[in-house]
Homo-oligomer: A and B are copies of this chain.
Amino acid sequence: MTSPRHVRRTPAGAAAAQAIPVPVLRRMPGYLQALRQFRTEGLEWVSCTRLAGRLGLDPALARKDFTALDITGKPKTGFPVTGLIRAIESCLGWDNVRDAFLVGAGSLGRALLGYRGFREHGLNIVAAFDTDPGKIGSSLHGTQVLPLSKLAGLARRMRVAIGIIATPAAAAQEVADLMVAGGLRAIWNFAPTSLSIPPEVLVENEDLSRTLAVLSQRLQARRALELEENG
């Protein structure tokens, strides 16, 4: 009934279709956040005009982004808030919880372990690993810290698919190798270093310095401009 010759990208759709572009995926959490806010405000339907407006995006962009989802809007009305939330969650795989291992129980690792927001993103950290004997055996936010040597074995036994690296950069490659050996399928790397990983394992680098680079360069550029203009 809806979108007849429209190519589906959802898991249900056959033949891989087309990969959803990275920029589209990166906007999805923003939509989700705004939609949840609208929902708490009691809104049941929302237009792309309003949704995109809140996020400072072009309405047409939102509409285009949503063609990657299994949902269509209604003219004059827009999209059902709850339905759109569900569609985005389903697209991202956030409707099912997936277990993850975290390596590096330092200050960043502890923050990640204690972060409750990951539940809403389908991520459940089930164990932490470290090499520091002082940390092994302790429990952080209810999660056990285990010796790194147990990682590969446990990963296979527990069929864990996601690994999070929060060790110093110098240790990251070694940890990544263990993760690959343990059969993990995806690595979320917080260490500021580029990893060598076989192509069958997905890697995403969360490098804070990338954002900082944009911020500080722009700030510096503005300063230079002001100095030039005013004096």
List 28 interface pairs A-B (beta carbons < 8 Å), by A numbering: A11-B220, A11-B224, A16-B221, A19-B221, A25-B213, A26-B210, A28-B217, A29-B207, A29-B213, A33-B169, A33-B194, A92-B213, A92-B216, A93-B216, A107-B110, A107-B115, A108-B111, A111-B111, A121-B213, A162-B219, A185-B219, A186-B216, A186-B218, A202-B215, A202-B219, A204-B211, A204-B212, A205-B211
Q: In the complex the two chains form, what is the Cα distance from A110 to B215 in whole Å?
A: 21
Q: In the complex the two chains form, what is the Cα distance from A54 to B196 in whole Å?
A: 9
Q: In the complex the two chains form, what is the Cα distance from A220 to B97 in whole Å?
A: 12
Q: Does A94 contact B (CB under 8 A)?
A: yes
Interface set, chain A 183-218, CB cutoff 8 A to B: 185-186, 188, 192-194, 202, 204-218
Does more than half of chain A's interface fall in helix, strand or loop, or is it mixed? Answer: helix
Q: Does A22 contact B (CB under 8 A)?
A: yes
Q: Which one of B186, B214, B219 contacts A215 once the chains associate, using CB atoms below 8 Å?
A: B186
Write the A58-76 contact mask toward B (1 if CB under 8 angstroms, else 0).
0000000000000000000
Interface size, chain A (Cβ < 8 Å): 65
Could you tell me the distance in whole angstroms from the C-beta of A109 to the nearest C-beta in chain B?
9
Q: Does A126 contact B (CB under 8 A)?
A: no
